[in-house]
Structure 1
Amino acid sequence: MPAAPSIHNNLQLGLRANGTQFSLLVLINAFVGGMVGIERTVLPLLAEIDFGLASKTAILSFIVSFGIVKALANLFAGRLSDRIGRKRVLIAGWIVGLPVPVIIIFAPSWDWIVFANVVLGINQGLCWSTTVIMKIDLVGPQQRGLAMGLNEAAGYLAVSAAAFGTGYLATAYGLRPQPFIIGIIIALAGLFSSIFLVRETQGHAAVEARTHHNDAPSAAQPSFAHILLLTSWKDRALFAVSQAGMFNNLNDGMAWGLFPLYFALHGLSIGDIGILTAIYPAVWGISQLGAGALSDRVGRKPLITLGMIVQAGGIFLFILTSGFWMWALGSTLLGLGTALVYPTLLAAIGDVAHPTWRASAVGVYRLWRDGGYALGALLAGSLADALGLSWAIGAVGGLTLLSGIIVATVMYETLPGRR
């Protein structure tokens, strides 16, 4: 008697074959990015103006709470996606994220803002990780860098648009509530799209697993402890990727929390601060469209190394120069360097990790990457309080440069055919 046909036999891998679902997931990731973008311009200013906080460490506490919780949520998102499916995790993330803008609008004290960012961290960890995993599932191995470029471009262009939009609304109407009404609309759109339009992609990962030729880690299902150790330390490429992701978000956490305060200290208006805050993620988002695809051709290691060095150069420009236009150039370089790195790191994880445990590996990588938010906020805040804003910004630039050197000396090339 012939065996029953697999329910996955009719599934195809590739961007073109899954264009509709892929495009929908790109849109949903834009919603995810928009939820973070509503905070980029306004919250550091809200801390000083509405709540009277003077300590930079206290102001950056909202990023610490966000980073720690998002990092842990990433870890659980990857493992849960392997166990119960991607779509359920995505929907859960949006349900958790719904109250965030409402809490910020009505927060009577800074503690409520910190709590809102705990909730936002869960939303971001579950939703962003899951959209990444689902896109990797759909496209297969051939266009992984392009897929990650499209994913991250959508997310960070939305961060930029929301940062610019909230800066405009804050200038016109005040810091609350108008800038955060955008967040309520975004959260509802993300939830309903995920419930009614998104399809499960775990079957696509099963299709790829049957033809996977990666002989680096074993194709057998390893324990989660083994995946954690392999991704964090034992595999040289995965270690290099994880530390680069951590230092990338370390400098992003510093930029998120300190740059608006640094610009305000030098007399820039809220409108100009909103523009500078938006340039960085806008360049980051647009440039990823080319960077991800380029990594499919030239390899992952060169782009990651170059990207970390360019980021460091952009950060140093903020403390070595002054004025709106020079800082706009610094924001541009920071965004360009991040664009070279961000989709390429995810593509490298997809290159090395077997499809049967890839979601868990993505979760571990994103644990380290988004832990950088908390580390960056703590480091930048404490250095700013002790030595001043310029020293804090310069120190983070130095650590970013060090991370690029580690990639150059430790990582092996992961792109299939170029190892």
Structure 2
Amino acid sequence: METLPESNPRPIGRYFALPLAGASVFLMAANGGLNLIVKLFLRAEGAPPIVVGAVTSVSAAGVILGSLAWGRLADRRERRPLLFATVLGAVGAIGVLILLPPPWLVIGSVFVRTVMWMGFSTVTMAIVSGASAVARRGRNLSYVTSARSLGFALGAIASGYVLERFGFRGGFAVMAILPLLGIGFLFLLPAGEAAPAPVMRRGSWRLAFSSGLVDLYLSTILRQMAIHGAFSLLPIYMAALGIPPIQMGLVTALNTLTQVGALIGFGRLADRIGRRRIFMLGFALSALTPCVFAFARHAAGMAAGYGILGLSFSSLYIGSAAHIGDRVPEERQGAMLGLYETSRGIGGLVGPLLAGAITPVLGYTGMFFTMAGIAGVGFLVMFIRREYGRMGGDDGRAGV
């Protein structure tokens, strides 16, 4: 049986990754389902468009706050109780919706749920990354990330049926039950979790500089600005092209469905050919994606764009997460992976605002090419960066 080095005698990461992947499917299914049901509920309650649109902005704010706060906690507290706390917190935030509250409380529920989801995600990645040998870190992380994509896709696909069958109150109840079902997988986690780390004086950004990760974070901000900016207006763009709603649903599902298999594949490749090659591919595909949307004039073209988007996310995320795990000590992985999620959240917050501001001036085509240019800058930053971290190797392969 494969084991970790004697300095880290805990079970290999796979034994942590598989139960956490099972729990992730249920938690993300709830998130995927609520993504549609919440917005339809707000519209049914007569909420103005600005309130409905605030769901996206509030979610981005929750990503930033949740990833920072839970990342630090993951390095200073025992991680297993944090997992239970985040799941139960998410259940509570969803359970409030069963009362069919006013819009302002719905927005608050979205924020709390996002903070809890980011906590579960950040703590999960820190546990799996820290428990994995370098040679298996990519594939172990891919089990969890692929499960998240699968759960989100299943929830999104089922949300319409759940809403039609049970209505808003019943739909919210079903989505609150799903995370509770996932808790059972947490009891399957093996013993032997790392002890909480002592409080360190060195801040996360200082560690990012010393570990050679700051350029990755900055490039990720640019990538997220570009993708979220283009993504925010795609439904309106597809409607302007005359694409029927049923085709829109099928097309948008390709992004998440592509991720399910791609994350597993890129996780294995990251362990074989190196992290840098994988996340550089993700940055390159991210610059290509808005260009595909700019030239698309029918559902098939949009489908190609969403498929490339799924590949870009998969290669970028799994390669970056494994790279971060290679370059920082185990006791700081929660904070540094949380900082990575924060950089994603910052880009996701700014990108839609920028896209909305320039589209009336440049049109959709101009907006898409602008977003491609921003993503291209992110690629160039990584291409010309110089390594100056504490580890000499870059690709994270076993034996390197």
Distance 1:398 1:162, change over 3 A: farther
Establish whether residue 183 from structure 1 lines up as the match of residue 161 from structure 2: no
TM-score using structure 1 length:
0.81
Q: Distance in 2 between matches of 1:393 and 1:186?
A: 37
Native 8 Å contact 2:76 2:196 kept in 1: no
Q: Distance in 2 between matches of 1:178 and 1:313?
A: 41
Native 8 Å contact 1:349 1:362 kept in 2: yes
Matched ranges for 1:16-165 at <5 A: 19=15, 21-41=16-36, 51=46, 53-54=48-49, 59-104=52-97, 107=100, 109-165=102-158
Establish whether residue 263 from structure 1 lines up as the match of residue 238 from structure 2: yes
Distance 1:197 1:298, change over 3 A: closer
Q: Distance in 1 between matches of 2:396 and 2:196?
A: 19
Structure 1 residue aligned with 2:12: 14
TM-score using structure 2 length:
0.84
Structure 1 residue aligned with 2:325: 350
Give the match's secondary structure for 2:233. helix
Q: Distance in 1 between matches of 2:337 and 2:231?
A: 24
Distance 1:378 1:102, change over 3 A: farther
Distance 1:393 1:30, change over 3 A: farther
Q: Distance in 2 between matches of 1:200 and 1:411?
A: 40
Structure 2 unaligned blocks of 5 or more: 1-5, 388-393
Native 8 Å contact 1:11 1:203 kept in 2: no
Distance 1:358 1:31, change over 3 A: same
> Residue 71 of structure 2 aligns to which amino acid in structure 1?
G
Distance 1:91 1:378, change over 3 A: farther
- Cα displacement (A) at 1:190: 3.0
Q: Distance in 1 between matches of 2:326 and 2:114?
A: 27
Matched ranges for 1:184-203 at <5 A: 184-194=176-186, 196-199=187-190, 202-203=193-194
Distance 1:109 1:396, change over 3 A: farther
Q: Distance in 1 between matches of 2:110 and 2:165?
A: 23
> Residue 159 of structure 1 aligns to which amino acid in structure 2?
F
Structure 1 unaligned blocks of 5 or more: 1-7, 207-219
Give the match's secondary structure for 1:223. coil
> Residue 26 of structure 1 aligns to which amino acid in structure 2?
A
Q: Distance in 2 between matches of 1:114 and 1:385?
A: 28
- Deviations 1:161-204 (Å, cap 9, x if unpaired)? 2222224556x56984565444212222234543x444565338
Question: Which stretch has the larger CA shift, 268-277 or 286-295?
Answer: 268-277
- Aligned residues, how many? 389
Q: Distance in 2 between matches of 1:276 and 1:41?
A: 15
- Deviations 1:382-414 (Å, cap 9, x if unpaired)? 445666555544433322222112111115424
Distance 1:376 1:10, change over 3 A: closer
